[in-house]
Amino acid sequence: MSDPTAELQAGRVGRAHGLDGSFYVTGALPRLLTMGASVSVGGRSAEIVRRAGTDARPIVRLQGVEDRAAAEALRGTALTVAATGAPRLGEGEWWAHELEQCEVFDGELLLGTVARLIELPSCEAIEVDSAGGGEPLLVPLVRDAIRQVDVAAGRIEVDGDFLDLRARRASSDRASAVDSPAGADARADAQPDRHGGGGEGRERRHGG
């Protein structure tokens, strides 16, 4: 759910560019890297005084970082921006911290809680820690999968049919049945004994 104290990672300091302290930004969120924006880097705040390159490979220079050596000294350091100072997103867009800890429902069925936002090759997705344990559920942030997002209420509605959750639950139930003590006995009874017999021969061998 939305946290006013949250910080957004705008990227990391990459290799230096030129001699004036400019550097590439890796893993960048370009909309956070605007001229005049204040970012935190290495425990201090600094203003972006140069913005060049492309959105895919942005180049920035920070106030107080005056030469190549200073830029290289920051290499690998995270650049963060206060969530309260982040630009407003368009309809159907959310920052990661707004979705984290939201509860995810299919109708009235609680599926779990959003652990994080991740990037898939074709889109972004939320990773949902299952309410019943087991493997996390990945829900792509596409219109067919998401019915509604209410950040203020901390609730996300998804389409279980589109996500094929019925098949997922059936598979989970089958796995639970096999892993249960009764399932283990059934598997053991079905194994032939060393003499080629079935479960009855196994019982006789252990029974004396």
pLDDT of residue 202: 35
C-alpha dist (Å) from residue 162 to 79, 138, 142, 144, 145: 37, 12, 11, 7, 6
Q: To the nearest whole percent, how much of the chain has pLDDT over 90?
A: 54
- Indicate the average pLDDT of the chain: 82
Q: Which domains does the chain have, with CATH numbers?
A: 7-84 (2.40.30.60), 96-159 (2.30.30.240), 167-198 (no CATH)
Region label for 12, one of left (φ > 0), alpha (ψ between -120 and 50) or beta (otherwise): beta
**178, two tokens:** 């096999």
pLDDT at 194 over 70: no
What value does the mean pLDDT take over residues 106-127?
91
pLDDT of residue 170: 58
C-alpha dist (Å) from residue 66 to 22, 44, 53, 189: 8, 15, 18, 75
| Contacts for 113 with CB less than 8 Å, ≥ 6 apart | 101, 102, 103, 104, 128, 129, 131
| Contacts for 28 with CB less than 8 Å, ≥ 6 apart | 10, 11, 55, 57, 58
| Contacts for 42 with CB less than 8 Å, ≥ 6 apart | 74, 77
The string of pLDDT tens digits covering residues 36-55 is: 999 999 989 999 999 999 99
> pTM of the entire structure?
0.59
Q: How confident is the model at residue 187 (pLDDT cuts 50, 70, 90)?
A: very low
Higher pLDDT, 199 or 100: 100
- Give the span between the Cα atoms of 208 and 192, in whole angstroms: 17
pLDDT of residue 193: 47
pLDDT of residue 139: 95
The string of pLDDT tens digits covering residues 135-167 is: 899 999 999 999 999 988 999 999 999 999 876
**In which residue are the tokens 């630009």 written?**
87
